[in-house]
Amino acid sequence: MKTKVAIVRCKNYDRIEVEQAVWKAFDLLGGAGIFVKKGEKVLIKPNILSARPPEDGVCTHPEVIRAVIKSVRDCGAVPFIGDNPGGSISPAKAYEGSGLASLAKEEGVELKEVKDIKVVNGIPIAAYFFECDKIINLPKMKTHSLMGLTGAVKNMYGAVAGLYKSELHKKFPSPEEFVKVLVDTFEITRPDLVLMDGVVAMDRQGPSSGRLRYPGLFVAGEDSVAVDSVFAELIGIKPLDILSTKEAYKRKLGEADLKNVEILGGSIKENLVSDFNIPGTPELIAILGPCAKFVMRFIKFWPSIDERLCKKCMICRDSCPVSAITINPNKSVMDLKKCIRCMCCHEVCPHKAIELKRNFLAKVFGL
């Protein structure tokens, strides 16, 4: 049996249109009732990176979450919502700023915050991830400054509680090290169903400061690795060029070979997203071949504070795992000798004040 992934068109976030598209995506997979049973407690896990409003395209859109709440209730199950934003931002603040607090109040759905932690294989995970019968994963279609793409596998890193995320970045600073703990987290909290919000997507300096794109798509499936693989193909990238997909596939946590994936609804070819710019550019690695590792050593990226945009909110400073940032009234300082290039500051800044600088070689290769 091939694993199934549905691609469904949805041109905007109109409530009716989203509801119909979500219903169609789940219906193509056999219906939400295949995954969710009457009386079950279902955790809906969106991507709520920070307190950013829906129009910024950073977080899973509230109307997508609303449609999934309705699908869960139609199955006779009980939905609740939980995510842990990056850095020092509290879940309550992120829920409020992203529009999720208002949605939860309207729908009468509980928003979870970290009260207890369960440590599994050295990873501190919010206990409520173990207090549900099913998990529905709602990632956002975006790039990521450290990992290239953030999709279904990466989104489950939100199960890690609060500032522990930054501590894990400190402990595992390189992408090759960090991807292992990322996939460890995914394996521990493996979701039962995925619906990727690609109605509005983000490329370039994602996951919070990039360029908004408008694919007008949902990608859904039971297999998170397959969903991420379809996402990669849609933007012209080989699935195994994405570290999180490669690592999860190696561990047999999902399917990355699209020969073994049945695409439903619409084909990849007719839904291609052109000119989707990814940090790190996997195509460059492929072109360089055996020289890639040597050349990439000399291609440098680093975060920098744009004083024109900085609001001195201290979120980047408080989120930095190595205390490399000092915020001053006039000019803030990024200590690049301490900086481990985890890009946490870039990820959590709500004002797009952390930009990524590139050296000459990076610019030559168009990165």
Quote the distance between the C-alpha of residue 231 and its chain's center. Answer: 12
What does the pLDDT read at residue 112?
A: 96
pLDDT confidence of 283, banded at 50, 70, 90?
very low
Q: Which residue has the higher pLDDT, 229 or 359?
A: 229
Mean pLDDT of the 59-72 span: 98
pLDDT confidence of 361, banded at 50, 70, 90?
low
Who's near 243: CB < 8 A, 6+ residues apart? 147, 148, 175, 176, 179
* pLDDT tens-digit series, residues 288-308: 455 655 555 555 678 889 999
- Alpha-carbon span 367 to 323, nearest angstrom: 27
Residue where the block lists tokens 């690592």: 247
Domains in the chain, CATH or no CATH each: 3-271 (3.40.50.11440), 282-364 (3.30.70.20)
In this structure, which long-range contacts are made by residues 281-289, counting pairs with CB atoms below 8 Å and at least 24 apart in sequence? 281/365, 281/366, 281/367, 282/148, 282/237, 282/238, 282/241, 282/242, 283/237, 283/241, 284/365, 284/367, 285/241, 286/238, 286/241
Mean pLDDT of the 235-260 span: 96
Mean pLDDT of the 10-19 span: 98
Instruction: Report the sign of the C-alpha dihedral through residues 352, 177, 360, 233, in that order.
Output: negative
Who's near 235: CB < 8 A, 6+ residues apart? 203, 272, 273, 276, 278
199, 200, 201, 204: CA torsion to nearest 10: 160
What does the pLDDT read at residue 64?
A: 98
Confidence (pTM): 0.88
pLDDT reading at 73 higher than 90: yes
Judged by average pLDDT, the poorest of 33-47, 67-81, 117-131, 324-338 is 324-338
Query: Hey, what amino acid is at 218?
Result: F
* CB-count exposure of residue 221 (10 Å: 0-12, 13-18, 19+): buried
* pLDDT tens-digit series, residues 40-63: 999 999 999 989 999 999 999 999
> Helix 15-28 vs helix 62-74: angle between axes, to the nearest 10 degrees?
50
- Alpha-carbon span 261 to 187, nearest angstrom: 20
Q: Which residue has the higher pLDDT, 144 or 136?
A: 136
- Closest CA relative to residue 328, chosen from 314, 309, 339, 318: 314
Mean pLDDT of the 176-200 span: 97
* pLDDT tens-digit series, residues 315-350: 889 888 889 999 988 888 889 888 888 878 888 888
Q: How many CB atoms lie within 10 A of CB 96?
A: 14
Judged by average pLDDT, the poorest of 16-30, 78-92, 193-207 is 78-92
What does the pLDDT read at residue 363?
A: 56
Mean pLDDT of the 276-289 span: 60
